[in-house]
Amino acid sequence: MVTKSEEDQLNRLEAQVDNAGGGAWEYLCLVRKLKVRRPDKVLKHGLAILNDSKKRSALGTEEWTLCEQVAVAAMDCQSLDVAKDCIKVLRKRFPDSKRVGKLEGMLLEAKGLWAEAEKAYSSFLEDNPFDQVIHKRRVALAKAQGNITTAIECLNKYLDTFMADHDAWRELAEIYISLQMYKQAAFCYEELILSQPTNPLHHLAYADVLYTIGGLENLQAAKKYYASTINLTGGKNRRALFGVCLCTSAIGQLSKGRNKEDKDSPELQLLAVAALEKDYKQRAPGKLPLLTSALKSLRVSS
C-alpha cells in the first residue's frame, strides 16, 4: 500500500523528471520500492540512463537492477525488442540465474506464446518447488489466457502451502469477486483482516462484499465494518460514509415489519450524512444538491 506522503513524493519526482530536471535515478528507485506500475515513465527514463554510457557506469552494480526494471516496463508497453535486448544483456552477465529465467518466461508470455511460457515455468518449478515468484507467474499466465478457473486452482494450491502470503489472498479475493463468488471472497477478506487488522482498505472491501451478499445479519455486519473503516481513517473515507448510509437504509427496509430492536442508534447515519455534506461543500459544492437529494431518498425509506 502506498501512503499519501509517498504518493506525493512520487508525483513530485515524476513532474520534476518530466521537465528534464534530473533525479531520474531517485524516481526509478522510488517506483521500484513502492512497486507502483508506471511502465511508460520507467521505460523512457530508464532507457535514457541505460543508453548513456557515462550515467550507466556511474550506477555500478545497480545497473542490472535497472536493466531488469526496464525490461519489465518494456514488456508492459509492448516494446518487445527493447525487452529482448535487456534480457539478452542480463543473460550474458548472469548465465545461470533464475531471476533472468523468470524474465524470459515473462517475455514469452508477453509475446503470447502461452505453451512455451508454461513449459518454462514448469521446468523451474521442478528444480525448486518452493519458488513463490514462479508460482505467482503461473497464476498470472492462466489469468492472462482468460482461464480463470485454472488460475483459481493454481492459486488455491499455492495458498495451501504458503498460507501466510497476504498478497495472494488479495488476488484470490479479487478473482472471486470478478466471478461473483462472494462468500469465498468474504473468506479471503477475513484472512486479510486477520493478517493486517489495522488496514482500513481490507475492512472496507469486506464490508462491500457483505453488503453485496445481503441478508439482515450481513447488512448489520457490513455496517459495523464500515464504521470500523471510518474509525481507522478518522472519518475521511467517503466510501465508508456512503456505505454506512446505504446499510442503515437497507437494514431499515428489511426490518420494517418487525419490532425495531434499535440497538444501533440512528445517530451514526445522521452523522455520516452530515460529514458527507460538509465534505462535498468543501470539495465539490456543485454536486451538493445531487448529494442531498440522493441522501434524502435514502432517509425516507429508513
Partner 1 sequence: MDKFRDCGDIKKDLRYLYTVQFWVFLVSRNANRGERKSRERERGAMAEDLVLDTAIRDWVLIPLSVVMVLIGVLRYFVSKLMRSAQIPDAKLVKEGQVIVRARNLRAAANFIPPKSFRARRLYYSNEENGLLYVPKGQAPNAQAQMFSDPNMAMDMMKKNLSMIIPQTLTFAWVNFFFSGFVAAKIPFPLTQRFRAMLQNGIDLSTVDVSYVSSRSWYFLNLFGLRGLFSIILGEENATDDTQRMMQMTGFGFDPTKSLGAEKDGLDIVQHDWTMPKFERRAEAVLRKLVR
Nearer residue to partner 1 within complex by CB, 94 or 162: 162
Binder among 228, 243, 249, 295 for partner 1 (CB under 8 A): 228
**Residue 278 interacting with partner 1 (CB under 8 A):** yes
Q: To which residue does cell 515513465 refer?
A: 41
Binder among 150, 195, 292, 302 for partner 1 (CB under 8 A): 195
Q: How far is the CB of 24 from partner 1 (least distance, A)?
A: 28
Region binding partner 1 by CB under 8 A among candidate stretches 1-9, 21-29, 79-87, 260-268 = 260-268
In the numeric block, which cell numbers belong to residue 238? 467517503
Q: To which residue does cell 501466510 refer?
A: 164
Over the window 141 to 160, marking each residue x when it contacts partner 1 by CB under 8 A and - when it does not, the resulting string is -------------------x
Distance CA(51)–CA(82), nearest Å, equals: 12
Distance CA(27)–CA(30), nearest Å, equals: 5
How many binding residues for partner 1 (CB under 8 A)? 36
Distance CA(134)–CA(144), nearest Å, equals: 15
Binder among 34, 59, 181, 193 for partner 1 (CB under 8 A): 193
Binder among 197, 214, 215, 289 for partner 1 (CB under 8 A): 197
DSSP 286: G
Decide: 120 and 108 in contact? Cβ < 8 Å: yes
In the numeric block, which cell numbers belong to residue 277? 455534506
By CB atoms closer than 10 A (0-12, 13-18, 19+), residue 285 is exposed
Binder among 78, 123, 149, 231 for partner 1 (CB under 8 A): 231
Nearer residue to partner 1 within complex by CB, 58 or 274: 274
Q: How far is the CB of 174 from partner 1 (least distance, A)?
A: 19
**Ranges within 10-69 binding partner 1 (CB under 8 A):** none
Q: How far is the CB of 221 from partner 1 (least distance, A)?
A: 6
CB burial of 190-207 (b: ≥16 within 10 Å; e: otherwise) equals ebbbeeeeebbbbbbbbb
**Residue 87 interacting with partner 1 (CB under 8 A):** no
Distance CA(124)–CA(143), nearest Å, equals: 19
Q: To which residue does cell 550474458 refer?
A: 92
In the numeric block, which cell numbers belong to residue 55? 550515467
Torsion of Cα atoms, 197 then 38 then 13 then 86, to 10°: 120
**Residue 238 interacting with partner 1 (CB under 8 A):** no
Binder among 134, 230, 246, 250 for partner 1 (CB under 8 A): 230
**Residue 187 interacting with partner 1 (CB under 8 A):** yes
CA-nearest of 212, 205, 167 to 189 is 205
Positions in the binding site for partner 1 (CB under 8 A): 128-130, 160-165, 187, 190-191, 193-195, 197, 221, 223-225, 227-228, 230-231, 234-235, 244, 264-265, 267-268, 271-272, 274-275, 278
